[in-house]
Structure formats: C-alpha cells, structure tokens
Chain A
Amino acid sequence: MIRLTFSGVTKCFDGRTIIRNFSAEALSGQITAVTGINGSGKSTLLKLAAGLLLPDTGSVIVREDGSVWRKNDRCRRVGMVAPDMHVYSELTARENLDFFLGFRYNVPLSDRQYDELMSRVGLQPDAILKKRVRNFSTGMEKRLHLAILLASGADVWLLDEPGAHLDRAGRCLVQREARRAAEEGKLVLWATNDAEEEAEADASIALSGR
C-alpha cells in the first residue's frame, strides 16, 4: 500500500501564498481527484508530490508499507503528465521512449512491445515511424506522454489535466488507463476542472484557492 501524505504544507511564490497549511492523503488502488479553481494550486500540489518543489513549511511524504520513500524512489517510481511538460521535438516517438526508459534505468521495449504500446494509446506505429515529435499535433504529443508514463511502470501517477488538448476518445483513453492503473494498485492523483473526470475519481482533495 502506497500512501502519499501532505502534512501542514504551505507553498508561496514571490510572496503570494498558493497553498496554506494544507493536509491531505491519497492512497494507492484508487483515483484521487485534486480540484479547485484556476490558481488554487493544483499543479503546485502535484509538483510537490513529485518532489519537484519543496514545501516552505510542512512535509510531503510517500510511504509504502510503513517505510518512507527516498529521493531515488521518487526518481524511479513517479510518473507525470502535465500541460507544461514536453518531450524532445527533434526526436521521434520511439527515440523519446527509448531515451526516457534508458534514463529511468528501465529496459528498452522490443519492437512488438513498442507497437502494442503505441496502439494502446491510439498512435499508429507505422504512421509515426520516422516522424519527429515537432510534427505531431498537441493531442498526439499528449498520447505519447501517456505512453511514456505507461512504459515507465510508475507506481505513482500524477496527472495534471491530462485530458486537455485531447478529443473525446483521448479523454476516455486517459480515464480508462487511470482506472486500470488504480486497479493494478497504483496511486493516481488527478488534477482536474472537469466534472466528468472528477466523477470518475474514488476520492477527492479540494483546494480552496485562497
């Protein structure tokens, strides 16, 4: 059981408090929605969970069966999809995947695994074989992000509005994969403003946006 705990977290940027004395918990095996108005700190909360930001006060701790994750665990076991996160536009989808898997100490995918993964996220392997990511549409790039997340085998999924820029089928794909991940025992933290996506979640964390 993986447990992500925010305890009395406060985070400020340029003198403005984004998150104030915030406490909450998310558990593996379920989808936890993070909701709140624009500027309420949803993305900041996910970055705190990823360890990309440190809280000004309080703590963000990931525990698995009682033992606390160290920085190395987060590097290897957290995956994220976010609007301001991009892959390398000069590389192809396969090269990006190979890079991120190698970078994460994972073994590379075989051709068959790669084809299956691309089909799973709705990308045609043959059509994008030699296509660099800079020639992808925004939706295609989002699907590639999801493919990287899936291939990385991350145990904690941090999804920051992953349905943005995706068509209806793309949004359904994200919901389906998030549900599957939760059923496999992964922790899914999902920042969203979409009522339908929020309804999909098993638990919810509401940010006040003060």
Chain B
Amino acid sequence: MQVSLYRAVEAVFRKEALISLRSRASWLVVLMFALTTLSCVSLLMQGDVLSPRLAAAMLWVILFFSLLSGAGRGFADEEQEGTLMALSVYGSPQAVLFGKGIFMAVLLFALSLLIVPVYLVLMDIPVFSVLLLFAALLAGTYGMAMAGTLLSALMVGAKAQNGLLAILMLPVLLPILLPAIVLTAGCFSGEAVRISYLVGMLLYDGIMTLAASLLFDFLWYED
C-alpha cells in the first residue's frame, strides 16, 4: 500500500527535526551567531537611533548569515555520515528537497520570531505594521531556505563548501533580500510601502520552489 509524496516529505521533515534536537550543535550555532551579532550591535550603538533602512538591512544581514551557518549543514551532515546513498536509493529526490527545505524554512522563521522582538527592543525600533513585517519575514525566510537547500545540495562533494556557499548565496538571494529590506524599513518608518515588493517576494518564492524542484533531480543523481 502506498501513500502520497506528502508522507515522504513529512518523514524527511520529522527526521531532520529529530536529528537537530538530538545533535543540538547545528541550531545552537545558528542561534548563538544571531544572539552574538545582536548583542554586539546593540552594545556598540549605545542608545543611538538607527535609520529604518539601516535597521532593516542589519536585521536581514543577521538572518542571511544565520542561514549561511545553518543551511550549509543540510547536506554536508548527510555526506559526512554516509547517509546520502541510502537517501538516493530509498526515496524520491523531491521528498528530500521539500522535507529539508521546509524544515530549514521553519527553523529560520522560528529563529526570526525569536530574534526580531529582541532586536526591536534592544535597538528601540517601533513597528508600524506588524502584519506586513510578519509577511515579509515569512516570505523572506521561505525563499532563503529553499535557495539555501538547493545550493547546499549543489555543494555536496565540493571542497571548501562553506566558502562556496557564501559566494553563490549572495547573488541568488539578492532578489529577495532587497525587497525584504525595503518592506521591513517601511514597517519601521511607518511610511507607505508599495505592496508590489511583497508580491515580488512571493513570486521569487514561487520561482525558487519551481526551479529547485526541476533542478534537484539532476543534482541528486550521477557522480
């Protein structure tokens, strides 16, 4: 008896969550990186007020580097543990992509829900549109996570994986980082923001999901 791809994605997601909880190192590194950056920035500012654009840019830079420190582990850990072959033999590449991608998105979004309030309090930044900020974070972290998962798969077998990932990630993520920063800045300043930025981010998410789905099979098989 067989069930749908959904169950396979769910199996990968559950496996990722279970292993992450047991080997705490991976997500603790991400969390500690974010908290260290936040502490440094807030201590250095010493009560000075950041412009909304700068504050928004800094927030997304923190999320970007948190992703870098976390996403690289996605497939590197599988490679290190020798489990990639079992994954390739026993299931669908699409389940791996979406299971890992969605797990990374949830992790990153949860991290942003933890970081953003601390950031807002420490930097004394008002938020004029919580809903829009929430939507920007949701769309931004999903797109970043899917792109990160795809690029992490691309890095399997490469030397200097982290360095390469950082180099490749920047141009791939710029199209979503820029509107995310503009939207977030709008939420911080209270100025009207064109909703087209959010539509652009959602389009990026859709295109990234489709592209990742189409390309992943080619990355998954062959030497």
Contact = CB atoms under 8 A, between A and B. Distances in A.
A178 to B, nearest CB: 17
B32 interface: no
Given A79-B90, A148-B90, A88 B83 contact: yes
Interface stretch (B5-13, B43-51, B169-177, B190-198): B5-13
A102 B10 contact: yes
A82 B85 contact: yes
Interface in B101-135: none
B2 A99 contact: no
B178 to A, nearest CB: 37
Contacts of B1: 106-107
Interface in A122-164: 132, 148, 152
A89 B77 CA distance: 11
Contact of A75 (B18, B19, B83, B91): B91
A90 interface: yes
Q: How large is the interface on A (under 10, 10 to 19, 20 to 34, 35 or more residues)?
A: 35 or more
Leading 10 A-B pairs by shortest Cβ distance: A102-B11, A86-B82, A103-B91, A105-B2, A85-B85, A103-B11, A80-B89, A90-B22, A99-B15, A90-B19
A174 to B, nearest CB: 17
Interface string B195-223: 00000000000000000000001000111
A53 B223 contact: yes
A52 B221 contact: yes
Residue among A71, A79, A82, A103 with the highest chain B CB neighbour number at 10 A: A103
A78 interface: yes
Contacts of B5: 105
A173 B82 CA distance: 24
Main secondary structure of the interface of A (DSSP, over half): mixed
A110 interface: no
Given A53-B222, A54-B221, A88-B15, A104 B91 contact: yes
11 contacts: A52-B221, A53-B221, A54-B222, A75-B90, A76-B2, A84-B82, A86-B85, A88-B15, A90-B18, A91-B18, A99-B11
Contact of A105 (B4, B15, B18, B87): B4
A95 B89 contact: no
Contacts of B222: 52-54
A50 B8 contact: no
Given A85-B86, A148-B86, 14 more contacts: A50-B88, A52-B88, A54-B221, A54-B222, A71-B217, A75-B92, A79-B89, A80-B89, A88-B83, A100-B86, A103-B11, A103-B87, A105-B7, A148-B90
B18 A84 contact: no
Main secondary structure of the interface of B (DSSP, over half): helix
A38 interface: no
Contacts of B4: 105
Contacts of A88: 15, 19, 81, 83
B3 to A, nearest CB: 6
Contacts of B18: 90-91, 95
A76 B92 CA distance: 8
A100 B82 CA distance: 15
B14 A84 contact: no
Contact of A51 (B10, B12, B221): B221
Contacts of B182: none
Contact of A103 (B8, B23, B81, B223): B8
Contacts of A72: 92
B19 A86 contact: no
A82 B19 CA distance: 23
B61 to A, nearest CB: 32
B82 A85 contact: yes
Given A88-B81, A90-B18, A103 B95 contact: yes
Nearest to B22: A90
A100 B87 CA distance: 8
